[in-house]
Amino acid sequence: MVDSNLVMFDDEFRRIEEELQRLYQQTNAKVLFLVDKNGQLIASAGDTHNIDTTSLASLTAGNIAATGGIARLLGEKEFTVLFHEGDKDNIHISVISQRVILVVIFDQRSSLGLVRLRVKKASEALSRIFDEIARKAEKQEVKFGESPFAEISEEDIDNLFR
């Protein structure tokens, strides 16, 4: 089955941001990211100024995809948690609802145990939000009143490349 497009609306986006903000405070992390499995950055919390978030999102998704490939070769469905330890910073990556990836970057002010514990809780909340988004999309409850595509022309697209 082909994945449907991910459509995000204000309401869900706000709830996701709130959830990330809460997790950010609870874990004492440096930065948090939520990334689509295809490599698109969905939301973030913390100080992202010095980080190339787009590249990070794409590489994280590549990382999860590669690990998922290894898992299937071994007869596992998926490895849901990855952890990379650095000299100063560590990175905790987990898959939520088989669809999105939560990335937590933290240093010595936090700990792996704390991150794991809090991520587990937040995952449940985030999972519920993404289930709702999927349900909405399935029922096509959402109205595309302000569709950006409604009246696009060849010329509009040509202009993008000027």
Q: How far apart are CA 68 and CA 63, in angstroms?
A: 8
Strands (E), 39-158: 41-46, 81-85, 90-96, 100-106
Minimum distance, C-beta of residue 131 to other proteins, in the bound complex (Å): 17
State the binding string over 73-102 for other proteins (x if CB under 8 A, else -): ------------------------------
Nearer to other proteins (CB atom), residue 59 or residue 112 = 59
Minimum distance, C-beta of residue 1 to other proteins, in the bound complex (Å): 5
Nearer to other proteins (CB atom), residue 13 or residue 81 = 13
Interaction residues for other proteins, span 25-54 (CB under 8 A): 36-40, 42, 52, 54
What is the DSSP-derived secondary structure letter of residue 28?
T
| Candidate ranges 23-31, 110-118, 126-134, 141-149; the one touching other proteins (CB under 8 A) | 141-149
Q: How far apart are CA 119 and CA 142, in angstroms?
A: 30
User: What residue has token string 């302000």?
Assistant: 146
Count other Cβ atoms within 10 Å, centred on residue 51. 15
Nearer to other proteins (CB atom), residue 121 or residue 135 = 135
Nearer to other proteins (CB atom), residue 85 or residue 151 = 151
Q: How far apart are CA 20 and CA 41, in angstroms?
A: 13
Q: Does 6 bind other proteins (CB under 8 A)?
A: yes
Count other Cβ atoms within 10 Å, centred on residue 58. 16
Count other Cβ atoms within 10 Å, centred on residue 114. 15
Please report, as ranges, the residues that interact with other proteins according to CB under 8 A: 1-10, 13-14, 36-40, 42, 52, 54-55, 58-59, 62, 65-66, 68-69, 144, 146-152, 154, 156-161
